[in-house]
Structure formats: structure tokens, C-alpha cells
Amino acid sequence: MKTEKENYFDLVYQVVRLIPEGKVTSYGAIANYLGLKSGARMVGYAMNASHTQADVPAHRVVNRNGILTGKHHFSNPSEMELLLSKEGIEVIHDKIQNFEAHFWDPNKLELDLL
């Protein structure tokens, strides 16, 4: 039987799987989408545990300022930046450049699908 935390993590992973290549979102945006406006920290916990899920693009989740705060949870701290670079996202000093242009808001998901 899954715990409530595991169910929440699964919901986070479902949202993260929807982030398009070349886009990023924030912990807070995911929490807001899931109805937990102050749940950014829980999303962070889920992302820290996501490396056991091969199909979760954890590198696409950053903090609200576009900083790669989760990079230390990858097998190599530079892996997050390398994966983003392969998707055309420029990172300088652990910060996504032109963050607003790369930001994907899950709350606009339904609009994006129309």
C-alpha cells in the first residue's frame, strides 16, 4: 500500500513528465498546480527522490528564479546543466538565462492543449 507521500510524489512526477523539451518549471508552479500553494518544498522532496524514476525529466525543475538548486541531487552536479544545454537552454553560474522565455506553467496546461 502506498503512503500519502508516495501518492503525492507520483502526482508531481506526472506533472514533470508533461514539461516540454526546452522548457522548465518551478517547484512552486508544480505545487500551485497540484493545489498546494505552499508545497514547493514537498515538490523539492519529490524531485530529490525522482532519480529512481528513469522517465522523470528532473533537470527541467528549478527554483522560482531559474536557479539549478537541485543540481546536487544528480549523480554529477554538472549533469543538470548539461541536460538543459542539450535542450537549448543556456545556463550561466547555475542560472537559466532568459528564464521567462523557457518557463512552462502547468496552470496553463489546458490552454496549451487547445
Full set of structural domains in the chain with CATH = 4-101 (1.10.10.10)
> Phi/psi at 94 (nearest 5 deg)?
65, 15
Residue 112 · residue 25 · CB < 8 Å: no
d(CA 80, CA 86): 10
1-47 confidence digits (pLDDT tens)? 445 555 889 999 999 999 999 999 999 999 999 988 779 999 999 99
pTM of the model: 0.88
d(CA 43, CA 56): 13
47-96 confidence digits (pLDDT tens)? 999 987 889 999 999 999 999 999 988 989 899 999 999 999 999 999 99
Q: Tell me the CA distances in angstroms from 27 to 1, 2, 22, 114, one per residue in order.
A: 26, 23, 17, 25
**Residue 67 CA from chain centroid, whole number:** 11
Residue 12 · residue 30 · CB < 8 Å: yes
